[in-house]
Amino acid sequence: MVVMRSNYFGLIVWLILAGTVSVNTYGQELQGEINKKIDLEYPSLQKLYEHLHEHPELSLHEKETSKRLAEELRGCGFEVTEKVGGYGVVGVLRNGDGPTVLVRTDMDALPIEEKTALPYASRVETIDAQGRKVGVMHACGHDIHMTIFTGVARLMSSRRDKWCGTLVMIGQPAEELAAGARAMLADGLFERFPRPDYLLGLHIMDDIAAGQIGFRAGYAMARVDSVDITVRGVGGHGAAPHETKDPVVMAAEIILAMQTIVSREVSPFEPVVVTVGQIHGGTKRNIIPDEVKMELTVRSYGEQTREQILSAIERKCRGVAQAAGVAGEQFPIVYVEPNPCPPLYNSPELVRRVNAAMGRVIGDENIRFVGRKTGGEDFAVYRQQNPSIPSYMFFVGYISDDKAAQGPGSGGLQPKLHSPYLAPDAEPTIKTGIKVMSAAVLELMGTSGAATGGK
């Protein structure tokens, strides 16, 4: 006979196995407990969210953010280690025998000047890596992610009679640079701390209503390549362009030429994006510079498609330079950063199991299948380097029909991720995120752990 723990949860499990209490009844009891805990904690979580939103920090500079997250985890009884892979935070909560589940949040903000009308809007300015003065904003929802993360930590700590195993919760730096996951792994994340049996993460998404969850099994988000192009020419006086090889004009032609890579060279059934995000060149209006620098982001899924795109970019650059009469030694330099962010893969069996648990707390009708995204996520790196570990990142909606767009520049539309007007409907988004992530963790660490007599 299986030995049960002497607590309410163990009794319920025994009754379920005996057929006396239905799984639905247990699910309702657990949902009620989760909702009560979230409602109790929400006022302080709202304050935390507003604080994080008002005090953002750029990638690799998450010093105060990581301290605050570490304090929150310590307050929940976690063993906390700071400065893992930079400003990474690792919290470990051991609760007897059972599986090890890792829950990750990201912490960094973006170099965007906030333009919302929020009373807690960020007014932070800093100097970026290029020496420019920039505004800083949580325009990708990482402040929401950290608040949900904290709510889950509080709930799981207060409900240790409901689960068995080891919960590892990590605050990851530098997600926006696709560098933080690799840095934490290189610093011994899976050697210095309990190695997880499951990997869980979430991200808010701008095409899903608040109160709903989006999911996709298999490949869900794209590979991300960062490409730098230096267009080289022969500078001179702006009044005598015929005596120069103008890299500004060449750069413009290259940008237009690259648009045909997606529209005319890659299959329309392949999700592909080529975006030029930065152009820098010249010092004065009447001086033609020697070179122009461009920074690109390239998104793809298949490895063959990726190679096709990168090859086409280099070919377009060389072709434009040749047409401009630039000599071979002056051809553009195309640099592709090594170790691209891999495509995000969600393990199908884990998706099925977690979705069933999430449906029990928010209703199956609020679990939505979504198409593949061309956004990238370095959460994918954890599974890439450890493919035997099941992994799942799901999407939390933040859009409410009755929520007005923030600011005149939003065009009356709901602001998207990376917009200076982003202002998620915080309360339903945070509460839903805590509900579903807690349900996911309890599904993986709950019934089986208690039924086998974990302590």
Residues 232 and 88 in one domain: no
Residues 362 and 264 in one domain: no
Q: Considering the domain boundaries, does residue 295 fall inside one? A: yes
Q: Of the residues 336, 351, 374, which one is the last residue of a structural domain? A: 336
Residues 232 and 380 in one domain: no
Q: Of the residues 336, 354, 388, which one is the last residue of a structural domain? A: 336
**Beta strand spans in 259-328 (E):** 273-281, 287-288, 291-300
Contacts of 140 (CB under 8 A, 6+ apart): 109, 110, 176, 417, 418, 422
Candidates 28, 38, 39; CA nearest to 155 is 38
Residues 217 and 227 in one domain: no
Tokens of 207: 């095409």
Residues 280 and 362 in one domain: no
Per-block average pLDDT, block size 10, for the chain (455 residues)?
Answer: 40 42 54 88 98 98 98 98 98 97 98 95 92 95 98 96 96 97 98 98 95 97 97 97 97 97 95 96 97 97 96 97 92 95 98 97 96 96 96 95 50 79 95 97 73 33
Per-residue pLDDT, 75: 98
Q: Of the residues 336, 363, 378, which one is the last residue of a structural domain? A: 336
Residues 237 and 290 in one domain: yes
Residues 290 and 358 in one domain: no
CA distance 451 to 184: 34
Q: Considering the domain boundaries, does residue 418 fall inside one? A: yes
Q: Considering the domain boundaries, does residue 263 fall inside one? A: yes
Residues 315 and 432 in one domain: no
Q: CA end-to-end span of the chain, whole Å? A: 17
Q: Which ranges of 88-227 would DSSP assign to H, the alpha helix?
A: 142-158, 180-186, 189-192
β-pairing, 213-215 with 367-369? parallel
Residues 201 and 238 in one domain: no
Q: Considering the domain boundaries, does residue 383 fall inside one? A: yes
Entry pTM: 0.88
Q: Considering the domain boundaries, does residue 131 fall inside one? A: yes
**Which residues span the domain enclosing 136?**
8-222+343-451
The DSSP H or E segment spanning 209 is strand 198-209
Instruction: Give the CATH number, domain containing residue 402.
Output: 3.40.630.10
Residues 404 and 433 in one domain: yes
CA distance 447 to 12: 9
Per-residue pLDDT, 447: 52
Q: Considering the domain boundaries, does residue 3 fall inside one? A: no
Burial (Cβ within 10 Å: 0-12, 13-18, ≥19) of residue 209: middle
Residues 303 and 381 in one domain: no
CA distance 437 to 178: 23
Per-residue pLDDT, 415: 81
Domain count, the chain: 2
Q: Considering the domain boundaries, does residue 157 fall inside one? A: yes
Instruction: Give the CATH number, domain containing residue 233.
Output: 3.30.70.360
Q: Considering the domain boundaries, does residue 1 fall inside one? A: no
Residues 371 and 414 in one domain: yes
